[in-house]
Structure formats: structure tokens, C-alpha cells
Structure 1
Amino acid sequence: MMRWLLLLARWPLPLLHALGWVGGWVVWLLSPPYRRRWREHTRLAGLRGWPRWASVGAAGQQVAELPRLWFGPPVRVGWEGAAHIEAALAQGRGVLFLTPHLGCFEVTPRAYAERFGRAGAPITVLYRPARHAGLDAVLRQARQRPGMAAAPTSLAGVRQLMHALRRGEAVGLLPDQVPPEGLGVWAPFFGRPAYTMTLAARLAQQPGVQVLLAWGQRLPWGRGYVVHVQPWSQVMDEPLAADAALAAAQINRAMERLIARAPAQYLWGYARYKSPRPLG
């Protein structure tokens, strides 16, 4: 597997995106369960027309670009809203990035690590360990780089995130990822109850933490990415609630508003409404 990943990592990004677009459609056509889930989720969100169909190919691009991001030469990344990060770091505050499964969510922490982590403000990202030992080793290697560390979805990983914020560093996670049983609450997401993590709210409520919403826009024709960053107050007109269930619902609404800006790049086939797996 590693040999193939390293080979693909040298491919030009436009070629990988073209390959991924085709692959996304092949998977959509050959997998009835995936197709049903995609249809149900896009219908819930009221997505129609070109953005709906374009999301099929974009899902394949998200997979195809991973070898280049993990093991290849740097890709072109622009920024919109980096001043919000600079302001938080200048005050010595911990920064919590909340990113949905939108666009290239792998590029966001990497771009941060390249620009800010190497300068002494590293980022720790939450990730779910793979069940296959070989694949998990590849994922850990891909997510450990200068200015960037990875924390597993475990109690030890949560403590790692907490310590990073207290040191005034950055933390990134995907709040629309389904957590294990007992670590979330049921909250609306596009009008349907979805099991939603409470960890994002717990981290956001740590003293002095600055909450920033971020996502990596995939530019057409393999021209790179743009990382968009906004503070919570620019997306939501209410502060984050202290109650876990209310805060989870607020975070879901904030993710919906980000997704509405580029719905063709959201991972609609993700099993967002599945029942949580047992803890451990």
C-alpha cells in the first residue's frame, strides 16, 4: 500500500483530481447503499441541480488527493481570514478550529502547520484510528509532521487536546464526525437528529479559547486550495451555550451554514445519521 501511495504522491494535482472525479462516479454507480445514503442526505438538505451532482465527483477527488497531501510535494494554498488566527495567537490564546466534512478538510491543518506551526504555534488534530494496523500506521505517519500532531479518539487523545489548548496552541477537529456511544447527544442536522459530539463544545468552553470555523475550498482544475477562516461570531449570532445539548445543536447549525457556501464539496455520502459505535 505504501508503495502505491508514494507513487500517487508524485502525480500532479490536476491529474489526481481528474482520476478522483471518475472514481467518485464509479463508486456511486456500483454501490447502491452509498447511492441511497447520498440521495437521502442531499434531499434532506434541499440540494438540487449541479451542486448536487457535482458532489459525487468531488467525493472522489477528496480521496484521490490524499496521497499528494500526505506524502507529496507542497500544494498551492491561499488564505482568507488568516488575520483571525494571527490575532488569537498574538494574545497567547488557544485556538479551536471546527471544520465540517467540506472541501479538503485534510489541507486545513497542514496549511496551518506550514504557516504557523513551524513558527512555534503547533496544531493537534483529532483522528479516528483505523481498525487495520497497517492502515493505521500509514495514517499516523501522514498526520505527524513539523508543527502538527495527531490525537486519537480516546480519553488520552482528549487530554492531549486539552493540554494543547492550555498551552495556547491550536486544536482541530471535525464536529460532524459521529462519536462513540456516550460521548455525544442527538441534535438536529439538516432537520434530522444526528448523534453529535459534545467534545467540541467542551473544548470551546475552556478559558480563553478562540473558536474559529475553517474549511479548505478545493479550486477547480487542480489549481490548489483556499483555507477560509471565520470567528464564531461571524457565522452565528449567538454565543455558544453552556448546556451540552444546546451547544451541539448550535455547532450543527454553524456547520450547515458553512456547508451552504459550497454544498458541491460536502461529503454527502458520509454516514452522518448512523447509530454510534460502543465506546472502546
Structure 2
Amino acid sequence: MLRWFRFFSHWPLWALHVLGVAGGWLAWLFSPTYRRRMGANARQAGLGWRTLVGAVGQAGRMSAELPRLWLGQTPSVVWADAQAAADAYALGQGVLFLTPHMGCFEITAQALATRFGAQYGPLTVLYRPARQAALGEVMALARNRPGLQAVPTNLSGVRQMIKALRAGQAVGLLPDQVPPEGMGVWAPFFGKPAYTMTLAARLALQTGAKVVLIWGERLSWGRGYRLHTQALDQALSNDLEAAVVQINQAMETMILACPQQYLWGYARYKTPRQEA
């Protein structure tokens, strides 16, 4: 697998995206389960077929661009607005960056590390080790980058994130990722109960870290990515479940700003798995 990732890592981004669009439509056409879930999730958010047409190809682009992002030369990145991130770092209280499964979330971590890592220390991100050894080798190479510190999805990883935030550094999370049973609460997401992680809210409330929303917009024709940041519009409630609802609402607002780039095929409403 590493050989194939290295091969595709040299391709221009536009060519990978063309390949990805084809793959995205093939997955949609030949997987009834994926097709039904994608449609149901989009309808739950009040969106129709026009959004899905764009989202099918964007989902394929997300997968096809990984070799370039993990092992190749970093594509062009421009910042629509970095002020929210810069202001949060300057406070010295730690920064919690939250992004949904939207656009290119891999590039957000790399861009933050490149822009702020030298001055404020590494960005700490969670990762779940791959079940396949070959993919695990690829991911290990991808995560070992200057300014990035990957920690496992266990108690040790959580402790490292808390330590980083208390040291004034930054942590990146995808708060719409379904956590294992016992590590979340049921909270509305586009009006339907979804098992939602409490980790993001706990980290912010326990450390006093500044919460910043971020997402990486995928530009057309392989022109690269545009990063958007903004501070959470209101302080998180001290009540944990209320804070989780606030974060879900913030994710909804971000997603609806560019719904074609959200991963509607993600099983957001699934029953949480049990940890072994």
C-alpha cells in the first residue's frame, strides 16, 4: 500500500481530484447502503438532490487527495482569515480547534502546524491506529511532521491533550466523530439525536482553552485549499450536556455554509461501538 501511496503522492492535485470524483460516483452507484445513508443524512439537514450531486464528488476527492497530503508536496494553502487563530494563541490559555468532517480536515492540521508551530509549539491531534498494518505504516509517516503531535484515542492521549492545552499549545478535534460507548451523550444534530463526544467540551471547560472553529475549503480545479477560522460565538455553558449541544449547533452552522463539502455519507447517527 505504501508503494501506491508514494506513486499517487506525485500526481498533481487536479488529477487526483478527477480520479476522486469518479471513485465517489462509483461508490455511490454500487453501494446502496452508502447511497441511502448519504441521502437520509442530507434530508435530515433539510437539503436536497442539488447538494448531494456536489457532495458525492467531494467525498471522492477527500479520499483521492490523501496520498498527496500525507506523502507528497503540500498543495497551495491560502487563509481566508487567520485572525481568530492568532488571537486565541496570543492569549496563552491553549487553543481547541474544532472542525467537522467537512472539506479537507487533513490540511487544517498541517496549515496550523506550519503557521503557528514554531512560535507556539506543536498541534496535538488524535488518531486511531489503522487495523491494517500496511495502512498503519502510511499513517505513521503522514503523522510524523514538524509541528504535529499525534496521540492515541485512549486515556493517555487525553492526558497529553490536557497537558498541551495547559501549556498554552493547541489541540485539534473532529467533534462530530462518533465516540465509543460511555464517552459521549445523545444530543441533537440537525434535529435528530446523535451520539456525540463530550471530549471537546470537557477539554475546553477543564483547561479554559479558547475554542476556535476551522475548516479547509477545497478549491476547484485542484487549486489547493482556503482555510476559514472563527471564534465560537458564545462562551460554552458550564453544564456539560448543554456545552455539547452548543458545539453541535456550531458544527451545523459551519456545515450549512458549504454543505456540498460535508461528508454526508458518514454514519453520524450510528449506535456507538463498545470499547474492547
Give the equivalent residue in structure 2 for 1:209: 209
Q: Distance in 2 between matches of 1:98 and 1:84?
A: 13
- 8 A Cα contact 2:178 2:268, kept in partner: yes
Query: 1:127 is matched by which residue type in structure 2?
Result: Y
SS of 1:102's partner is coil
SS of 1:185's partner is strand
The count of aligned residue pairs is 276
Q: Distance in 2 between matches of 1:142 and 1:118?
A: 19
Q: Distance in 2 between matches of 1:169 and 1:239?
A: 20
TM-score computed with the length of structure 1 as normaliser: 0.95
Runs of 4+ in 1 over 3 A off after TM superposition: none
- Cα displacement (A) at 1:121: 2.4
Q: Deviations over 1:141-164 (max 9, x none)?
A: 211210001111111111111111
Summarize the alignment of residues 258-273 of structure 1 with structure 2, pairs less than 5 Å apart.
Answer: 258-273=254-269
Give the equivalent residue in structure 2 for 1:126: 126
- Cα displacement (A) at 1:49: 4.1
Q: Distance in 2 between matches of 1:243 and 1:208?
A: 14
SS of 1:279's partner is coil
- 8 A Cα contact 1:140 1:150, kept in partner: no
Give the equivalent residue in structure 2 for 1:245: 241
Give the equivalent residue in structure 1 for 2:25: 25
Query: 2:159 is matched by which residue type in structure 1?
Result: R
SS of 1:186's partner is strand
Give the equivalent residue in structure 2 for 1:166: 166
Q: Distance in 2 between matches of 1:218 and 1:8?
A: 18
- 8 A Cα contact 2:127 2:150, kept in partner: yes
Q: Distance in 1 between matches of 2:6 and 2:119?
A: 28
Query: 2:254 is matched by which residue type in structure 1?
Result: L
- 8 A Cα contact 1:62 1:104, kept in partner: yes
SS of 2:206's partner is coil
1:69 aligns with 2:69: yes
- 8 A Cα contact 1:17 1:222, kept in partner: yes
Q: Distance in 1 between matches of 2:140 and 2:204?
A: 25
Summarize the alignment of residues 11-50 of structure 1 with structure 2, pairs less than 5 Å apart.
Answer: 11-50=11-50
TM-score computed with the length of structure 2 as normaliser: 0.97
- 8 A Cα contact 2:39 2:52, kept in partner: no
Q: Distance in 2 between matches of 1:247 and 1:269?
A: 26
- 8 A Cα contact 1:93 1:168, kept in partner: yes
Summarize the alignment of residues 218-229 of structure 1 with structure 2, pairs less than 5 Å apart.
Answer: 218-229=218-229
Give the equivalent residue in structure 2 for 1:152: 152
SS of 1:193's partner is strand
Q: Percentage identity across aligned positions?
A: 58
- 8 A Cα contact 2:165 2:207, kept in partner: no
Q: Deviations over 1:72-102 (max 9, x none)?
A: 0111001122122222222322110010000
Query: 2:247 is matched by which residue type in structure 1?
Result: I
Q: CA RMSD for the aligned pairs?
A: 1.2
Summarize the alignment of residues 73-222 of structure 1 with structure 2, pairs less than 5 Å apart.
Answer: 73-222=73-222
- 8 A Cα contact 2:2 2:134, kept in partner: no
- Cα displacement (A) at 1:190: 0.8
Gaps of 5+ in 2: none
1:274 aligns with 2:270: yes
Q: Distance in 2 between matches of 1:239 and 1:84?
A: 15
